[in-house]
Amino acid sequence: MRFAFLLVCCIWCHIIDDYVLQGCLASMKQKSWWAEKVNDLDSTMYKHDYLIALAMHAMSWSFSIMVPIIIAKPFCFSFYVVAFCVNSLVHGLVDHAKANMKLISLVTDQMIHLIQITLTLLLWMKLAI
């Protein structure tokens, strides 16, 4: 029962961060947005700016999904750091595959994120409790 409740809380945080809080990052993490907004995209000045938006969103999301875990049990620093880094990297790569490379759909993107959440919670329950 505890796992199910925490899973629902983590998924809720995922929904809030991925759909409500993302704001302008949703556009800025796409190369195409920069091409539309910046007339001189050949300029090296803005060539990789979308990567910063991807990274910022991925880190925000990773923090958000772990809030229920942190509240449920006293802070486990080493687990949190590793999970935060891995989740940020995976989330950024998945969003890049969807938003820029057009390799996956929104459904696939969301399924991967839900798997991330579930695995993070399962690992936390195994290691931190």
- The Cα 109–Cα 99 span in angstroms is 10
For the chain, how many structural domains are there in total? 1
pLDDT at residue 96, as a whole number: 95
Average pLDDT, the chain: 88
pLDDT at residue 25, as a whole number: 83
What is the extent of the structural domain holding 49? 2-127
Exposure string of 103-124, with b = 16+ CB inside 10 Å and e = fewer, is ebeeeebbebbeebbeebbeeb
Tens digits of residue pLDDT in 51-98: 998 999 999 999 999 999 888 876 778 889 999 999 999 999 999 999
Spell out the residues 6+ positions from residue 34 whose beta carbon is closer than 8 angstroms to its own.
28, 41, 46, 49, 50
The answer, yes or no, to whether residue 104 has pLDDT greater than 70, is yes
The answer, yes or no, to whether residue 41 has pLDDT greater than 60, is no
Mean pLDDT value of segment 41-56 = 79
pLDDT at residue 106, as a whole number: 95
Mean pLDDT value of segment 107-123 = 96
85 against 50, higher pLDDT: 85
The answer, yes or no, to whether residue 110 has pLDDT greater than 80, is yes
- The Cα 79–Cα 85 span in angstroms is 10
pLDDT at residue 11, as a whole number: 97
